Structure 1
Amino acid sequence: MTTAPSLLTTRTSVALTFALNGLLFATLVSRLPDVRSELDLSNSALGLLLISASVGSVLSLPLAGRIIERFTPAGTVRGGSVAVGAGLLVCGIGATVVEWPPLAAVGLFAYGIGTSTWDVAMNVEGAEVERRLGRTIMPRFHAAWSIGSIVGSGIGVVMAALGVPVSLHYLVIGAVALVLTLRSAGTFLPVEERHEHQERPRVSAWREPRTLVIGLMVLCYATVEGTANDWLSLAVIDGYDTPHWVGVAGFSVFVVAMTAGRLTGPLVLDRLGRAPVLWACSGLAAVGVLIAVYGGSLPVMFVGIVIWGVGASLGFPVGMSAAADDPVRAAARVSAVATIGYAAFLAGPPLLGMLGDAVGTLRALVVVAVLMVPASLTVFAARPPAVSGSTD
């Protein structure tokens, strides 16, 4: 009979799971220029191809809670990692071997399903580990995702520079990540330990006011992060007429600042509480964006980017923790909040693109500062609910 893993072992496994998810995301994105050239696609056609992954995510996110309740977080992470690995391979073969866009779209669709269910499951598991540890740790799990994406991007640059075929790149990284994910999920918390006093809920998470308000808060913070992912490099290049490498450097500074905020944030959260820290994050993000847009010089803009990155660091992971405060309802609530929040990653890029065409790429970033107003008004929902007799 096997013994249950220690909580610290599970913590390490969850962090590795986050890092591997980020690694695979960056693996996909880093070779998209090669996918575009092999299939001879325009930018708009590539965008249509990538919608396949978005459709997979949109369809699976609302169902993720029930999938987790049925198959456990560990089983869902395993299944999601298989779908992601298979999706990457099929996408690579469709794009660069048979050069048939519909096959690449099928692979991206599978990737979208796998990564979204995996994402919700690892957040549910991370929240349970955080609850049992009795201290904030979720932002560090999300920092692990960022570190994994940085590693994946670096590997992608090397693979592209060496001319390694996309399908081979996707196969090797996907297989290694799959093996490591299957092993790490094996040390997640045992099901019988997690649900020892669970009762079947009667009210849908989608009808709970607190869950919906947390979802709105996460939506705002996801837009802050997603806008930087999609448009910050271009805003630096277009707004300050700089070489491309300077734009990439601006985005890199943002990622480093956000990762540093997630690594150090738990100390502040445990000392001051969620609401005050998130209010401060809202202010920092708004001020940072305004400095970046109106600073007037490149050095001042980079200062604004650092402040923006720190401000954007904690809203999303703290929202996931808040949604999972009650372990009995964690899967359903995290699924609902993630579905609302990820709408920012799906709808944000085209909307910001249209705004950028009208007012300029740099000026369009002001919308991020505006969104920090509703974010600051909703952070009260992230406070842990009062539970009589609680010793946490």
Structure 2
Amino acid sequence: MTASASSAATPQYPHGLNHRQVLSWRNAIATLFTLAGFSFASWVGRIPTVRDTFDATHSEIGILLLGLATGSILGLLVAGRLVERWGARVVVGVCMLVFFAALAATGITVGVLGSFVGAVFTLAVLGVSFSTYDVAINLSGAANERLLKRSTLPILHGFYSLGTMIGAGFGAAAEVLHIPLALHLIVVAAIAFVTGLSVLRFVLPETLADAPPNTQEMAIASGAMSAPKVRSVWREPRTLVIGVIVLGMAFAEGTAVDWLALAMVDGYDVDNALGTLIFGVFVTAMTATRFLGVRALDRFGRVPVLRTSAGFAALGLLLVIFSPSVAFAIIGTALWGAGAALGFPVGISAAADDPKRATARVTAVATIAYGATLIGPPMIGVLSDYVGVLNALLVIVVLTVLSGLLSPAARELAGRHSHTAPDFASPGTTSAAIILATSELQVISADDTPPPAAHR
């Protein structure tokens, strides 16, 4: 091979980066995604133990989960600006410290102190730090993806799901071995923090993937030119319908994360360890579907994938709710997980079809979808106290069926394969809005000239 041929085969990157640095960056982000899933699932898998500790009603568990969701929203309100000001690596480092400390503190507050109010507070802190961490690693992953010039975010989110599988396995083992909640979560936090610190040094500034600003952007930054106004997307029927689609599918995913283990324990009278393992079945099905789903989207397009996903989720939920045995409920759990895996990323891709309005539309869709994580936990909790936890899940069946019926709204605007949008699927679903908003120097209206090719 000649020197010129070898040079042509080696990818060229800006700012003097070499291929090894870019791949190390990608691998570090994949590890950080895995740690996020591992840590969060470790908490979720012990929810039945938390319920037993407090002898709590389903409504009270809903209050705990509402504290977590409220903290997540607060984090999302500031995450974009923090990343924009300090960079993803600094934000990830600080959030790791706070997040893992809050995880350990939750274990101590519940398992040692037995304080319900204290648990609500520590879970709120956990939510703030987790959602901010989630935004930062998504933004860094998106920058790395631009350098590699191929879709890697779907795989990164697959690593998140892989982490949830590992966390669910650890949780089940902790239940079987009767390991105290505080010790379990402290160990998880310590492992995750040390591992996170060891890979954080490979995360590079996301600005290394950005092209220099064009003349218009520099004029706006200097104040010599006003930024173009963005028309409201809240009056666009297609955007709103896509928001409803994503709402239903996000509800299906989020409710499983919060309630599935407890639903198995209370609805089928299994022990806490088996309930946690069944939650592991759900996240395993999601993981496999996220890794393989890109091929289905490429081959069949969004609408068939959405319809099939909604159908699997609804069928799985019905099996979980009405199954005559635990074995059939486990099959239903797998179908539920597979069905819930792709709804959010497909909806985000649909909202981002027009790159000139992608930021505004994705923000609107993600805002609608995140309502599921805010209202879902307490609503299911209240309903469970009246009709039972399994029957309360019928609400999700209705929403997933509605998502399937509305799926034609997500059809590709300019051909099935004409546009590939990044996948932002994860329990931190509103990350997509913040990532897109903070990775653009400006928002342009539909009437403006598209940015130069160097920015794409």
TM > 0.5 fold call: yes
1:219 aligns with 2:235: no
1:86 aligns with 2:114: no
Corresponding position of 2:56: 42
Corresponding position of 2:374: 346
Corresponding position of 1:74: 89
Instruction: Tell me if the contact between 1:223 and 1:345 (Cα under 8 Å) persists in the aligned partners.
Output: yes
Counterpart of 1:366, as a letter, is L
1:111 CA displacement = 1.1
Counterpart of 1:345, as a letter, is T
Instruction: Tell me if the contact between 1:83 and 1:113 (Cα under 8 Å) persists in the aligned partners.
Output: no
Corresponding position of 2:430: none
Corresponding position of 1:62: 77
Corresponding position of 1:229: 257
1:304 CA displacement = 3.6
For residues 21 and 374 of structure 1, do their structure 2 counterparts lie closer, same or farther at Cα, with a shift above 3 Å needed?
Answer: same
**Residue of structure 2 aligned with 1:193, choices 209, 212, 219:** 209
Give unpaired runs (5+ residues) of structure 2. Answer: 1-14, 221-226, 420-449
Corresponding position of 2:288: 260
Q: Counterparts of 2:187 and 2:260 in 1: how far apart (Å)?
A: 31
Corresponding position of 1:177: 192
Q: Counterparts of 2:168 and 2:230 in 1: how far apart (Å)?
A: 39
Q: Deviations over 1:52-90 (max 9, x none)?
A: 333211222233333333333333323322220232244
Corresponding position of 1:307: 335
1:98 CA displacement = 5.8
1:151 CA displacement = 1.9
Q: Deviations over 1:248-280 (max 9, x none)?
A: 554333322222111211222233344442233
Q: Counterparts of 1:195 and 1:13 in 2: how far apart (Å)?
A: 23
RMSD: 4.2
Q: Counterparts of 1:318 and 1:14 in 2: how far apart (Å)?
A: 22
Instruction: Tell me if the contact between 2:171 and 2:276 (Cα under 8 Å) persists in the aligned partners.
Output: no
Q: Counterparts of 1:168 and 1:154 in 2: how far apart (Å)?
A: 16
Q: Counterparts of 2:140 and 2:362 in 1: how far apart (Å)?
A: 11
Q: How does 1:238-317 map to 2 (within 5 A)?
A: 241=268, 243-244=270-271, 248=276, 250-293=278-321, 299-317=327-345
Bigger share in helix:
1
Counterpart of 2:101, as a letter, is A
Corresponding position of 2:28: 13
1:215 CA displacement = 4.2
Please give the TM-score of this superposition, normalised by the length of structure 2.
0.68
SS at match of 2:341: coil
For residues 146 and 207 of structure 1, do their structure 2 counterparts lie closer, same or farther at Cα, with a shift above 3 Å needed?
Answer: same
1:134 CA displacement = 5.1
For residues 19 and 100 of structure 1, do their structure 2 counterparts lie closer, same or farther at Cα, with a shift above 3 Å needed?
Answer: same
For residues 155 and 315 of structure 1, do their structure 2 counterparts lie closer, same or farther at Cα, with a shift above 3 Å needed?
Answer: same
**Residue of structure 2 aligned with 1:144, choices 141, 156, 159:** 159
For residues 300 and 25 of structure 1, do their structure 2 counterparts lie closer, same or farther at Cα, with a shift above 3 Å needed?
Answer: closer
Q: Give the number of the structure whose alpha-carbon radius of gyration is greater.
A: 2
Q: Deviations over 1:21-77 (max 9, x none)?
A: 112213334455666677x56345565455433321122223333333333333332
Instruction: Tell me if the contact between 2:45 and 2:276 (Cα under 8 Å) persists in the aligned partners.
Output: no
Instruction: Tell me if the contact between 1:284 and 1:307 (Cα under 8 Å) persists in the aligned partners.
Output: yes
Corresponding position of 2:445: none
Of the structure 1 ranges 155-164 and 325-334, higher mean CA displacement relative to structure 2 is found in 325-334
The alignment-based identity, stated in percent, is 40
